[in-house]
Amino acid sequence: MKIGIVCYPTFGGSGVVATELGKHLAQKGHQVHFIAYDQPFRLEAFNENIFYHQVSVAHYPLFEFAHYESALTSKLVDVATFENLDLLHVHYAIPHASAAYMAKKILASKGIHIPIITTLHGTDITLVGKDPSFKPVIHFAMNQSDAITAVSESLKQETLDLFDLQKEIQVIHNFIDLKRYKGLTSTRQLKIKYAPNNERIIMHASNFRKVKRVEDVVRTFKEIHDHLPSKLILIGDGPKRQSIEAMCREMGTCADTIFLGKLRTIEEIFSIGDLFLLPSQKESFGLVALEAMASGMPVISSNVGGLSEVNIDGQTGFLCPVGNTKEMGQKALEILSSNHYPTFKQAALNQARKFDILQILPKYEALYEQLIQEKHKVA
Ligand code: GMT
């Protein structure tokens, strides 16, 4: 198949999922065309089946805002026409679903018919998508997609609650490539570097946006740190970074907190973690929690959105109410200081196995084949 994939190229779950999906499709012999405004950050290595098309947005003195959506639409028309694409798969509805709809219409006027799949990732529905400034457009574009997928049952339900859809939503859960977590050799040396006195290593990784509630990570760590020698490793960067740094200084945990900033790959550093914290306000899936489990870390998370589909309460970690950092701290201590720690660790690893790319990729391939067949029937 010749597949066009549209995604945000920046650090973030939807870009990671789209890029890893495309890479694995290419390994299976499909031709994959990534269309994005920058090279997706996980698209590192050369593969003869992968092509990258950059969306360049023209600037003109009259424009106060850059016209990304129009530039993307034009690029989609161009790539679909000249690369003979079989289908377009857009990740994150805003504005990718409406750009794809417009491209589809332009292509149809030239006698080219191409199915569109929209994958919903979370904030495109739960935060931004429901905002009146986007809602009618997203609503229309979703209904015009040939297929809609959501990354969790919870996101599917929330989408159905918020939008009057005439289309089915198929849940295809997010995935990880378990191979990436095996055979790491540097773990021991790294562990000594960050925890020279065998302290427990607590981790969090995110884009440090408000929705991630990183301040709750710091508060929960304080609860743990007051009772157990421990270190906090924070990975990522974003709007809240500065205030979080200030908070650590005020709370007196600064000396045992390490800010690593953005990392392109997390497998190596995750391999030394003992426990992962994800206290988000909203989380449609929580890919990073799954990545943590694949590294053998039990997870303490909030109990919102799709997190309960990933983190099994009392088995792979614990789910706590948003903002209840006392409970998060207690549950963390319960895991870290109990004899059952290896059981939690093993359950986390077992849970991660269920979401290996090898289980999930065939679901996308089957959907693609079904849409291509339907297209041929109509033609
Ligand atoms: O807001 C974010 O966390 C980024 C966003 C993205 O587009 O990368 O993440 C969303 O999509 C991820 C991949 O499907 C999910 O794992 C995250 O849970 C989801 N974030 C939220 O729902 C807040």
| Domain shared by 104 and 49, yes or no | yes
In this predicted model, which residue has the larger pLDDT, 183 or 86?
86
pLDDT 10s digits, 161-204:
999 999 999 999 999 999 999 877 778 899 999 999 999 999 99
Round to whole Å and give the CA distance between 102 and 118.
Answer: 14
Round to whole Å and give the CA distance between 119 and 220.
Answer: 33
Question: Quick one: pLDDT band at residue 338, thresholds 50, 70, 90?
Answer: confident
> Which atom of ligand 1 sits closest to the CA of residue 282?
23
213 lines ligand 1 (CB under 6 A): no
| Domain shared by 156 and 276, yes or no | no
Question: Quick one: pLDDT band at residue 59, thresholds 50, 70, 90?
Answer: confident
For residue 151, how far is its CA from the centre of ligand 1 (angstroms)? 9
Residue 234 structural domain: 178-353
pLDDT computed for residue 61 by the predictor: 85
Question: Quick one: pLDDT band at residue 375, thresholds 50, 70, 90?
Answer: confident
In the chain, how many domains are there?
A: 2
In three-state secondary structure terms, 310 is helix
151 lines ligand 1 (CB under 6 A): yes
In three-state secondary structure terms, 260 is strand
Residue 219's CB is within 10 A of a number of other CB atoms, namely: 20
Segment 291-313 shows an average pLDDT of: 98
- Cβ-contact 213, 323 below 8 angstroms: yes
**% of the chain with per-residue pLDDT over 90:** 89
pLDDT computed for residue 239 by the predictor: 96
Rounded (5°) CA angle 56-60-66: 50
Cα–Cα distances in Å, from 67 out to 37, 57, 58, 64, 251?
Answer: 12, 6, 8, 9, 44
Choose the weakest-confidence range: 4-8, 28-32, 55-59, 228-232: 55-59
| Domain shared by 212 and 97, yes or no | no
174 lines ligand 1 (CB under 6 A): yes
CA-nearest of 216, 205, 191 to 274 is 191
> Which atom of ligand 1 sits closest to the CA of residue 13?
8
For residue 14, how far is its CA from the centre of ligand 1 (angstroms)? 6
Round to whole Å and give the CA distance between 99 and 92.
Answer: 12
How far separated are the first and last CA of the chain, in Å rounded?
Answer: 18
pLDDT at residue 12 greater than cutoff 90: no
pLDDT computed for residue 185 by the predictor: 74
> Which atom of ligand 1 sits closest to the CA of residue 8?
7
pLDDT 10s digits, 67-82:
999 999 999 999 999 9
pLDDT at residue 115 greater than cutoff 90: yes
Rounded (5°) CA angle 107-109-112: 45
| Domain shared by 23 and 83, yes or no | yes
Rounded (5°) CA angle 161-167-170: 80
CA-nearest of 188, 187, 200, 208 to 269 is 187
225 lines ligand 1 (CB under 6 A): no
N residues, the chain: 379
pLDDT 10s digits, 243-257:
999 999 999 999 999
| Domain shared by 15 and 129, yes or no | yes
pLDDT computed for residue 36 by the predictor: 97
| Domain shared by 186 and 335, yes or no | yes
In three-state secondary structure terms, 361 is helix
Provide the CATH number for the domain around residue 194.
3.40.50.2000
Q: What is the H or E stretch that residue 224 is in?
A: helix 214-225
| Domain shared by 82 and 144, yes or no | yes
In three-state secondary structure terms, 8 is coil
| Domain shared by 216 and 154, yes or no | no
pLDDT at residue 378 greater than cutoff 80: no
123 lines ligand 1 (CB under 6 A): yes
Taking all residues of the chain, what is their mean pLDDT, rounded to a whole number? 95
pLDDT computed for residue 221 by the predictor: 98
> Which atom of ligand 1 sits closest to the CA of residue 211?
23
| Domain shared by 33 and 117, yes or no | yes
pLDDT 10s digits, 15-57:
999 999 999 999 999 999 999 999 998 898 889 999 999 999 9
pTM: 0.94
pLDDT computed for residue 128 by the predictor: 83
pLDDT computed for residue 157 by the predictor: 97
For residue 3, how far is its CA from the centre of ligand 1 (angstroms)? 23
283 lines ligand 1 (CB under 6 A): yes
Round to whole Å and give the CA distance between 96 and 100.
Answer: 6
| Domain shared by 45 and 68, yes or no | yes
Ligand 1 mutation pick, 284, 290, 291, max ligand atoms within 8 A of CB: 284
| Domain shared by 240 and 290, yes or no | yes
pLDDT at residue 376 greater than cutoff 90: no
> Which atom of ligand 1 sits closest to the CA of residue 174?
14
CA-nearest of 301, 107, 81 to 203 is 301
How many Cα atoms within 13 Å fall on the side-chain side of residue 271? Answer: 17
pLDDT 10s digits, 122-134:
999 988 878 899 9
| Domain shared by 370 and 298, yes or no | no
